[in-house]
Amino acid sequence: MIIAERKPLEEIAAMAAPYKKICVLGCNTCVGVCMAGGEKEAAETASLLRIHRNKENQEGEVDVFSLERQCEFEFIDEVLERLKSYDLIISLACGVGVQTMVEHVPSLRVVPGLNTTSMGYPTEQGVWSERCLGCGDCVLHLTMGVCPITRCAKTLLNGPCGGSAEGLCEVGEDIPCAWQLIHDRLSSFSRLNDLNEIQPPKDWSTSHHGGPRTTVREDVRIDRGE
Amino acid sequence: MIAGSNLEKIVNSGNFVVTGELGPPKSSDITQLKHHAEEMKDHVDAYNITDNQTAIVRTSSIACGSTLVQMGLEPIIQITVRDRNRICIQADVLGAHALGIKNILCLSGDHQSFGNEPGSKGVYDIDSMQLLKGLQEMRDENRFMGGDEVEAPISYYLGAVSNPFADPFEYRVDRLEKKINAGASFIQTQCIFDLDRFEKWMELVRERGLHKKAAIMGGVTPIKSLGAARYMKNNVSGITIPDALIDRLKGAEKKKEEGLKICIETIKRLQEIEGVAGVHIMAIAWEEIVPEIVERSGLYPRPQV
Ligand code: SF4
Ligand code: SF4
């Protein structure tokens, strides 16, 4: 899922300061599940913002509700008129949700209430860890299901660097070394020899380095012209 | 002979090689670096020039290397994959060759979060293995990494680093072999403080005959003070310092002399280990001590080949 965390309230309040009719808009999919921007967090954010604005003697009102998904037109369309009635929408969706809304309804003024961090999963209660960077050419079959693009701080493809110590990455004490994990998994499947093959430079053109990506599936497209 | 560098000639002659290390400054005033180069010029066969070491912005390795060439000395320029993509690295290698630089050492580089620009974007377009292989193919097959032709021949002596003290230990010799297969003719190791572990590693190296395929040079660093030892132990990635060594320094009256002694003992032991082709002395911030280390280790005068 997409993982995010709420921006500091001060930052949100500063974005909202010039506006009067404000809506905090939650999103109940990924960011709802990772407890950053779902219904509950949206209500919380709205009430904190109200208290803050009261203290600052700022006029206006802060409304709050949530969409099932801010990244799909259908869900936006259902509440279109309501959305248009606000001066400002503080979206608690990921960065994709914010952009879906402004592209679909250009007259809306939408600002992000979250910092979108990564794609990953909850590794324990209250901890979400990044697992995929969407590189566009998955190598997990070569690395026993551990992503070196995401989990190795240097995106190495040919084994651990000289900074790997006691299972940890040189970058931080709480970061496991991805290549130690890959090594251990290869070892447990008696496939350590795989590491001896020199992996060629990665073709990054399938990743964001090739420019913004669009995925087209002709077989499921609806021809709108005819 | 591949590139005909002094380093390569001494390796081929079978003499025990001695290389030094120069760290470019955080300014463009390289007077001090030139001074250190002069100071140890009769005592080392070539000088590593670090590439923005520990991710700190410094005068470029190739610029300093070029200065050394002009002084009639021999640089080994380090290239990390942290700051440059394959376009820039290959361009720099062409430039280095044009400037008369004949030795290149390939490495990953410390992560940018360690340095003075922690907010920078790490490049890591290729890894150190792909760098070695790419540069080998540029040299031997006249081919850039992307497949285009290198329009005039280019040559250099290629090296890599190896850290026998990193984990997983059992993988470290595999990795060394991989680097040799990728094109490394010489290998410099991380600083050796744990000689037992190093010897164990060398045993594995000899079992596979890797010491015959590449010149393995043990890395050493003279420790100036107890604080320096503790700092390295706790803060420098990839270095392990056994507690016994810290205790020995602690117990010594003259720490500096003790640190020196430890370094010299290490070099003498390295000369005894079968398959060790030389020593790489990294006396960063204590460069003036290198001649004394080399002399007291019985490695002076240097062979003329
Ligand atoms: S290899 Fe690429 S696609 Fe596969 S998990 Fe890693 S980043 Fe994601
Ligand atoms: S320590 Fe491991 S995870 Fe960290 S950069 Fe090195 S190989 Fe990658």
| Ligand 1 neighbourhood includes A51 CB (under 6 angstroms) | no
pLDDT at residue B235 in the model: 82
What CATH number did the domain enclosing A109 receive? 3.40.50.2300
Helix B128-140 and helix B169-181, axial crossing angle in degrees, nearest 10: 20
Nearest atom of ligand 1 to the alpha carbon of A207: 2
Closest CA in chain A for residue B122: A154
A205 in contact with B, Cβ within 8 Å: no
In a domain, A128, yes or no: no
**A162–B163 C-beta distance less than 8 A:** yes
Question: How many domains does the structure of chain A reveal?
Answer: 2
Residues A107 and A35 in one domain: yes
Task: For residue B71, give Cα distances in angstroms to B26, B61, B74, B95, B290.
Answer: 21, 15, 9, 18, 19
Summarize the confidence of residues B142-171 as an average pLDDT.
96
A171 in contact with B, Cβ within 8 Å: yes
Rounded (10°) CA dihedral B206, B207, B208, B212: 30
Closest CA in chain B for residue A156: B127
Ligand 1 pocket test, pick from A2, A137, A139 with the greatest ligand atom count within 8 Å of Cβ, gives A139
Summarize the confidence of residues B224-232 as an average pLDDT.
91
Q: Nearest Cα to A90, choosing from A56, A60, A122, A126?
A: A60
pLDDT at residue A5 in the model: 97
The secondary structure of residue A121, as a DSSP letter, is E
Helix-strand-coil split of chain B, %, nearest 5: 45, 15, 40
Summarize the confidence of residues B258-280 as an average pLDDT.
98
- Beta-carbon contacts of A106 under 8 Å, excluding residues fewer than 6 positions away, are none
Residues A100 and A157 in one domain: no
Closest ligand relative to A173 C-alpha? 2
In a domain, A223, yes or no: no
Q: How far apart are CA A143 and CA A139, in angstroms?
A: 7
**A204–B130 C-beta distance less than 8 A:** no
Q: Which residues of A touch B126 (CB under 8 A)?
A: 201-202
Q: Which residues of chain A have pLDDT under 70?
A: 224-226
In a domain, A218, yes or no: no
**A163–B238 C-beta distance less than 8 A:** yes
pLDDT at residue B170 in the model: 86
Q: What angle do CA B114, B119, B65 make, to 5 degrees?
A: 60
| Ligand 1 neighbourhood includes A178 CB (under 6 angstroms) | no
In a domain, A43, yes or no: yes
Instruction: Name the band, by pLDDT with cuts 50, 70 and 90, for residue B237.
Output: confident
Domain enclosing residue A6, as ranges: 2-118
Residues A112 and A183 in one domain: no
In a domain, A125, yes or no: no
pLDDT at residue A136 in the model: 97
pLDDT at residue B99 in the model: 98
**B171–A195 C-beta distance less than 8 A:** yes
Residue-range domains of chain B with CATH: 6-296 (3.20.20.220)
Residues A110 and A10 in one domain: yes
The secondary structure of residue A72, as a DSSP letter, is S
The percent of residues above 90 in pLDDT, for chain B, comes to 95
| pLDDT tens track for B187-209 | 999 999 999 999 999 999 999 99
Residue of higher predicted confidence among A225 and B184: B184
Residues A69 and A142 in one domain: no
Last residue of a domain, one of A84, A118, A152: A118
A176 in contact with B, Cβ within 8 Å: no
In a domain, A215, yes or no: no
Residues A8 and A113 in one domain: yes
Last residue of a domain, one of A91, A118, A145: A118
Last residue of a domain, one of A118, A141, A170: A118
Pick from A183, A198, A199, A203 the residue to mutate for testing the B interface (most B CBs within 10 Å).
Answer: A198
| pLDDT tens track for A57-107 | 999 999 999 999 999 999 999 999 999 999 999 999 999 999 999 999 999
In a domain, A81, yes or no: yes
pLDDT at residue A222 in the model: 84
Residues A10 and A113 in one domain: yes
ipTM, two decimals, is 0.93
A134 in contact with B, Cβ within 8 Å: no
| Ligand 1 neighbourhood includes A58 CB (under 6 angstroms) | no
Residues A93 and A188 in one domain: no
User: A–B: how many Cβ contacts below 8 A?
Assistant: 103
**Residue B166 above 60 pLDDT?**
yes
Three state DSSP letters for A154-189: CCCCCCCCCCCECCECCCCCCCECHHHHHHHHHHHC
Task: Please give the helix or strand (H or E) that residue B297 lies within, else none.
Answer: none
pLDDT at residue B236 in the model: 84
Nearest atom of ligand 1 to the alpha carbon of A131: 5
Q: Which residues of B touch A183 (CB under 8 A)?
A: 168, 171
**B127–A156 C-beta distance less than 8 A:** yes
Residues A177 and A101 in one domain: no
| Ligand 2 neighbourhood includes A170 CB (under 6 angstroms) | yes
Q: Nearest Cα to B58, choosing from B110, B130, B98, B103?
A: B110
Residues A111 and A184 in one domain: no
Residues A29 and A104 in one domain: yes
| pLDDT tens track for B239-255 | 889 999 999 999 999 99
Nearest atom of ligand 2 to the alpha carbon of A154: 5
Q: Which residues of B touch A166 (CB under 8 A)?
A: 167
Q: Please tell me which of the candidates A158, A161, A171 has its beta carbon nearest to residue B113.
A: A171
Asked if B19 and B5 count as a contact pair (C-beta separation under 8 A), the reply is: no
Residues A184 and A160 in one domain: yes
pLDDT at residue A225 in the model: 59
